[in-house]
Each structure stands twice: as C-alpha cells, then as structure tokens.
Amino acid sequence: MENEILIFGHKNPDTDTICSALVKQILSEKDGKNNTKAVRLGNVNKETQYVLNYLGIEAPELIERVEEGQEVILVDHNEFGQSAEGIENAKILGVIDHHRISNFETKEPLYYTARPYGCTSTILYKDFVQKGIQIERKEAVLMLSAIVSDTLLFKSPTCTEHDVKAANELAKIANINLEEYGLEMLKAGTDLDDFSEEELVNLDAKNLDSKGVKYVIAQVNTVSIEDVLKRQEKLEEAIKNEITKKGLDLFVLAITDILNSNSEIIALGNRIDIIEKSCKLENNTAFLEGVVSRKKQLIPLVEKYL
C-alpha cells in the first residue's frame, strides 16, 4: 500500500505492545484512516498468543527494521533502544505511551500522548470514548487483555484507577469475567518449559541506558519462582552471553510470582554494586518482597544509585 503507516510497540513484544498496535489500527480505521498497519518487532509470547487464540485472530506481521522516511506510530514505548532498527531515520507521526520519555528525538512535530497510566490500552480506551467511536468485542478483548497483563490483574503498583475503570467497562462490552479470564491469560504466560535459557532472558527484556550505564532489566512471570531457579546456572550463562554481546554493565532478571506478587532477581555484570546498594545479593540472587513492576520498582532500584 502506498504511504502505509506502520504501528508498532517495543522489541520483545508483550501483550500491551501487540494489542495496542492492533487496537490503534482499528481505532484509526473507525476514524476513517485506512492506511495504517499494525506490525511487531519480535516473537509473540504465550500470554499474548492466548489472547489471539481466544479471538481467533492472527498476530501482526513481523518486521525487523524500518526504512528511511517510513511513516510510523509508536505505541507502548518511545526509547529508540527499544524500537525498530532504523527508527532514527523514520518519520514518527505519533506516540501513544505510558513510560518515561528518554532517548527520544524527532526532526518534525508529532502527536504525542503520554499518560502515567498502567497501560497503553487504557489511553486508547479513552480515545475511543472521547471520539465517540463504538467499541466492539474484538477491540474490547484486546484492550482489557493488555490492561490485565500490564497491571497483573490490578496488583501492580503501576495500576491506576483509570486502568481499573477501563478494564471493567471493557469486560462488560466483551461479556467476560475479568478475574477468570485474566488469571487464565496470565497463567498461559507462565508456561516457560519449552523456552531455552537464552529465550527466557530475552522474552521480556528492556534495554536501558542512563548516565552512561547500559543495562537490561528482563522479567519472566511464573507461578513458582523455585521452578525457574532450578535453571539458575544455565540462566546465568545466558545472561553472561547477553552482557558480552550487548556490552552491558548490568543485567537483572526478575522472576515474578504473579500469584503472590513477589520477585526473585538474578543480577550479573560489572556494576552489580548498584544493586547491592539497596539489596544484598546472595549467590547472585535476592528475594524482593512485593516487587512486581519493572517501571515503578525495578528501574528505580537501579536509577537511584547511578
């Protein structure tokens, strides 16, 4: 298609990234713009696949990079380090995001919606409402799934009243029991058995760069931290490979217990001193009670002592 506008979320896509890209395309179409296309920058995880299967729809097309001058809309991220290869030379028409704004710059003016909500889809939900555009079952399921995922069924400290309200309204439209559906969806994402350790440390990994410190915070959801820690040795090997490959100062893998809302971290790198300022590592690990959010809890843990 001529002048096709690509919509995508971050690398190592999560449910919000995939669902919000799809929903933004639907919203654009319902708003009379027929030249947008949702795409993705990586594999769909099992939690997201559960949502796509539930709706009987295909994942967006996979792209690796964007060409110079390509028109794009970013959802669920803004940092170039988390975006498509070539993003520096693309034409960013808009951003819809709920993260800090960092390492982001454009040559031209753009639409930028930033809200400190728990989920990008909550922002999109409000767009539908504000524009008076009808929400149908498909986009309702996509948005409520994204909200459940990002807020861990409202248990994450990132969750706001806006997210709770949006999810409940959407559940009514979709005729879904939020608790039941949400737990099944989250559990689908905790099935880690057929992932290699290399895949596990990349499944939901974010590249971050602050004050000259290059680090990654990766997260896996589980119903048993113990089960994942059985693979600690191999996970550490995979983490060390990532550190070498990407020239990182620090790599933190958070293994998050979605039922009890705690995390165990494995931290490696030449700057683990940053982590050790706030928690004591034993055998490269530490148990962090009540910690589930990368954005509100894990990233601040690092940034505070940079």
Residues that bind Mg ion (CB under 5 A): 14, 16-17, 76, 120, 150
The edge-to-edge listing of strands for the beta sheet with 61-62 is 61-62, 36-40, 5-8, 71-75, 91-97, 111-114
Q: What are phi and psi of 160, to 5 degrees?
A: -115, 170
Please, which residue, 178 or 298, has the CB nearer to Mg ion? 298
Please, which residue, 127 or 234, has the CB nearer to Mg ion? 127
Please, which residue, 26 or 186, has the CB nearer to Mg ion? 186
Report the residue closest to Mg ion, judged by CB. Answer: 16
Question: What is the distance of C-alpha 95 from the center of its chain?
Answer: 15
Closest approach of Mg ion to the CB of residue 202, in Å: 14
- What is the 8-class DSSP label of residue 82? G
CB 193 within 8 A of CB 231: no
Closest approach of Mg ion to the CB of residue 15, in Å: 8
Please, which residue, 20 or 36, has the CB nearer to Mg ion? 20
Q: Which helix (H) or strand (E) holds 244?
A: helix 232-246
Please, which residue, 271 or 298, has the CB nearer to Mg ion? 298
Please, which residue, 14 or 264, has the CB nearer to Mg ion? 14
Question: What is the DSSP secondary-structure string of 118-170?
Answer: S-HHHHHHHHHHHHTPPPPHHHHHHHHHHHHHHHTTTTSTT--HHHHHHHHHH
Please, which residue, 248 or 254, has the CB nearer to Mg ion? 254
User: How far apart are the C-alpha atoms of 241 and 236, rounded to whole Å?
Assistant: 9
Closest approach of Mg ion to the CB of residue 291, in Å: 13
Q: For residue 193, count CB atoms less than 10 angstroms from its CB and return exposed for 0-12, middle for 13-18, buried for 19 or more.
A: exposed
Q: Which helix (H) or strand (E) holds 206?
A: strand 205-210
First to last CA, the chain: 46
Closest approach of Mg ion to the CB of residue 9, in Å: 6
Closest approach of Mg ion to the CB of residue 10, in Å: 6
Closest approach of Mg ion to the CB of residue 7, in Å: 14
Closest approach of Mg ion to the CB of residue 99, in Å: 7
250-257 and 262-268 beta bridge pairing: antiparallel
